[in-house]
Chain A
């Protein structure tokens, strides 16, 4: 049996005034997945997230979470969601622990849960320090702790790695993987950089100018990627000119020539042509387009 759909939007459109921000977006996020929601800045990621949290009002029967219409079951649905939108919302005059205690008070949670969360995000040592004096990474971790405090089934994170150093990104990645593997959570995470989430997500949705242009697993994204032939020669410019004169679509990319891959025979013909004209061929390999480049090419359509 296929896992349950945790998030489902049906042809969701949203506009601010006359400006169309989301154009018939149909998201499908399955239980237990880490769904990377990607797109360049201004593509509609944060708007989508705000819609999913009912911060922006939409019409009925467009947004479903846990199989229920968000507009009709707001409180019930929000009780299963933990979120972090843009910068973490933290009271800077309170300590990290007080921020969590305040949230625990609002959500009628036991204070032992606060200690558990501080432990989980490695903030126990700094629990009594004012949150305003935290580093950006610590603030993000406190934001995650606040989002996880009521043990939600779904975690919605809007660009949580923004401004983090590589170590912070790594820690965040490990934490999210742990939450999915050990606690069975579903994570919906947005980013404008594929490389930041590529290594942790199971599914990807790419949004550009308000339209969902790709949705599927990482493997499915690889299938979309076109195969190409990479050639390294002694003189890239003259090799490229030779290939172009003979009708090949050759381009130089940094230290190699790139040509669309067609077949093994086709590769052999190219090799023969270069060798026949005294070009020294150092390497000739078949590769797939780098995912980041693919992401860029999709979002630049």
Chain B
């Protein structure tokens, strides 16, 4: 266990000044600045809406872009760069000749990517809330401060996080096996597009494809919120695509472990 914790610490130490880590902070920050600027300059278009609907519009602007495309692409990038740091330095042979169990090196990397994803989504939720409140300060006619969306927003991002674990595990395994950028990136990108198409077409078995899970999670959330007769923004955290995502993540993690355990470093 100590080997695992030290490996996690080492992952942070290695990546702390690289885009691998910084992307988890910069992406939500940049996206927030852009969307907030857009809403500030066109505040008159949402001024007449209720506080809840203003939040709904504002949050929707983020989720529309992020949930379907940016989140999977960010995961593909992060899983690649966490492993590429070793491929590039030809470090695998050195890492695996250290007196550290292979499982701890492997799982530390895996959980570090999960941490980056969790950090990114937590920052997204936090920045959205902060930006909404900032908009209200800049334009007091807006009603963001009249409704507390924090609970819903964090729950929604937790749902997105769980929905993305399947993609993360598959991409992690691809990046572990292949040193070149094109294979994991190309495969990941094609599957993401395929996922968006199948999810939007409402294909019956779309939930079986991990790359559809963030979109499906958003769709199921929207469906529940819009059908709510009490006009409450309530939805279930766990839904079919979340269970599948978790199952894929667990299975792929175990497969990856055996691949590493038996892998020869040529």
Partners in one complex: yes
Query: What residues make up the interface of A, taking CB atoms closer than 8 Å to B?
Result: 16, 50, 53-57, 75-76, 78-79, 81, 83, 85-87, 89-94, 98, 101-103, 105-108, 146, 150
Identify the stretch in B94-102, B216-224, B232-240, B244-252 within 8 Å (CB) of chain A at 4 or more residues.
B94-102
Chain A, interface SS category: loop
8 Å CB interface, B36-90 against A: 85, 88-90
8 Å CB interface, B193-239 against A: none
Residue of B nearest to A53 (CB): B97
Residue of B nearest to A92 (CB): B89
Query: What residues make up the interface of B, taking CB atoms closer than 8 Å to A?
Result: 2, 6-7, 9-10, 13-14, 17-18, 85, 88-91, 93-101, 262, 264-266
| 15 contacting pairs across A/B (C-beta < 8 A) | A53-B93, A57-B262, A75-B100, A78-B98, A83-B94, A85-B94, A86-B90, A89-B93, A91-B85, A91-B91, A93-B17, A102-B10, A105-B10, A106-B10, A106-B100
- Residue numbers in B under 8 Å from A92 (CB-CB): 88-89
Decide: A108 and B6 in contact? CB cutoff 8 A. yes
Q: Specify which of B14, B89, B266 lies most central, judged by the most chain A CB atoms within 10 Å of its CB.
A: B89
- Residue numbers in B under 8 Å from A56 (CB-CB): 264-266
- Residue numbers in A under 8 Å from B17 (CB-CB): 93
Decide: A105 and B101 in contact? CB cutoff 8 A. no
Q: Lowest 4 CB-CB distances: which A-B pairs, in order? A: A79-B99, A89-B94, A55-B265, A78-B99
Decide: B93 and A105 in contact? CB cutoff 8 A. no
Given contacts A56-B264, A94-B14, contact A106 B97 (CB under 8 A): no
Cβ-Cβ contact count across A and B, 8 Å cutoff: 74
Decide: A106 and B89 in contact? CB cutoff 8 A. no
Residue from A87, A91, A98, A107 within 8 A of B98 (CB atoms): A107
The CA of A93 and the CA of B21, in the complex, are separated in Å by 14
A117 to chain B, nearest CB (A): 15
Decide: B99 and A105 in contact? CB cutoff 8 A. no
The CA of A57 and the CA of B93, in the complex, are separated in Å by 13
Decide: A50 and B265 in contact? CB cutoff 8 A. yes
B200 to chain A, nearest CB (A): 40
A180 to chain B, nearest CB (A): 21
Residue from B6, B13, B99 within 8 A of A75 (CB atoms): B99
The CA of A56 and the CA of B7, in the complex, are separated in Å by 22
Given contacts A102-B10, A105-B13, contact A91 B97 (CB under 8 A): no
Residue of A nearest to B91 (CB): A89
- Residue numbers in A under 8 Å from B7 (CB-CB): 106
A240 to chain B, nearest CB (A): 49
Residue from B14, B97, B101 within 8 A of A83 (CB atoms): B97
The CA of A50 and the CA of B263, in the complex, are separated in Å by 13
Decide: A78 and B6 in contact? CB cutoff 8 A. no
The CA of A219 and the CA of B149, in the complex, are separated in Å by 83
- Residue numbers in B under 8 Å from A86 (CB-CB): 90
Decide: A78 and B264 in contact? CB cutoff 8 A. no
Decide: B13 and A87 in contact? CB cutoff 8 A. no
Decide: A78 and B97 in contact? CB cutoff 8 A. yes
B151 to chain A, nearest CB (A): 38
- Residue numbers in B under 8 Å from A108 (CB-CB): 2, 6
- Residue numbers in A under 8 Å from B100 (CB-CB): 75, 106-107
Residue from A55, A83, A105 within 8 A of B9 (CB atoms): A105
- Residue numbers in A under 8 Å from B6 (CB-CB): 105-106, 108
Residue of A nearest to B264 (CB): A56
Residue of A nearest to B101 (CB): A75
Decide: B89 and A89 in contact? CB cutoff 8 A. yes
A160 to chain B, nearest CB (A): 14
- Residue numbers in A under 8 Å from B266 (CB-CB): 16, 50, 56
- Residue numbers in B under 8 Å from A107 (CB-CB): 98-100
Residue of A nearest to B100 (CB): A106
- Residue numbers in B under 8 Å from A16 (CB-CB): 266
Residue from A78, A93, A106 within 8 A of B18 (CB atoms): A93
Residue of B nearest to A101 (CB): B13
The CA of A136 and the CA of B10, in the complex, are separated in Å by 25
The CA of A56 and the CA of B85, in the complex, are separated in Å by 22
Decide: B13 and A55 in contact? CB cutoff 8 A. no
A175 to chain B, nearest CB (A): 19
Given A75-B100, A90-B89, 14 extra CB contacts under 8 A: A50-B264, A55-B265, A76-B99, A78-B98, A85-B93, A85-B97, A86-B90, A89-B89, A89-B90, A89-B95, A92-B89, A102-B10, A106-B98, A150-B99
The CA of A81 and the CA of B2, in the complex, are separated in Å by 20
Given contacts A89-B90, A91-B89, contact A55 B10 (CB under 8 A): no
Decide: B18 and A102 in contact? CB cutoff 8 A. no
Q: Specify which of B9, B88, B265 lies most central, judged by the most chain A CB atoms within 10 Å of its CB.
A: B265
Decide: A54 and B10 in contact? CB cutoff 8 A. no
B226 to chain A, nearest CB (A): 48
Q: Specify which of B7, B85, B264, B266 lies most central, judged by the most chain A CB atoms within 10 Å of its CB.
A: B264
The CA of A93 and the CA of B20, in the complex, are separated in Å by 12
